Amino acid sequence: MDGDEVVPASKGVRVELLATVDLAGEIEGMEGRQLRMRMVTIEPGGVFGPLHDHQDRPGTVYILRGTITDHRDGVATEYGPGVGWPEDRNTLHWLENRGTVPAVEISVDIVRKD
């Protein structure tokens, strides 16, 4: 990420937990982890931040509606419906909706259980 880039504060984001699967007993060595699926809605002008990584929390994202701009390594990439991206240990990013309609994504990741 460019050291001059300012990441705005999170705003206009709604996260709905859709499902979880306890991975203990499903996959050896995954005790204390779960597979999580969420629906994330980012309103027009909304920001999903702050700048965050996915160390120890790999996942994938799929866009259902609208356009989401993914900011990483000083590059802004727009993703629209039917497109997605991976989030791995090298991911350091933040998201925004520059469009005029709510953007909706499905996010699936592996996380530590609360």
pLDDT digits (tens, 9 = 90+) for 57-114: 999 999 999 999 999 988 999 999 999 999 999 999 999 999 999 999 999 999 998 7
Distance of CA 17 to the CA centre of its chain: 13
Average pLDDT estimate for 39-58: 94
Contact 9, 47 (CB under 8 A): yes
Beta strands at 68-72 and 75-79: parallel, antiparallel or unpaired: antiparallel
pLDDT digits (tens, 9 = 90+) for 18-31: 999 999 989 999 99
Instruction: Report residue 44 as tokens.
Output: 């027009």
Please state, as a whole number, how many other Cβ atoms lie within 10 Å of the Cβ of residue 94. Answer: 19
The model carries a pTM of 0.89
Query: How far is the CA of 40 from the CAs of 15, 46, 73, 74, in angstroms?
Result: 5, 11, 23, 23
Contact 84, 9 (CB under 8 A): no
Reference 43, options 97, 81, 93; nearest CA is: 97
User: pLDDT-derived band of residue 7, with 50, 70 and 90 as boundaries?
Assistant: confident
User: pLDDT-derived band of residue 50, with 50, 70 and 90 as boundaries?
Assistant: confident
Beta strands at 59-65 and 103-112: parallel, antiparallel or unpaired: antiparallel
Domain architecture of the chain: domains with CATH: 11-112 (2.60.120.10)
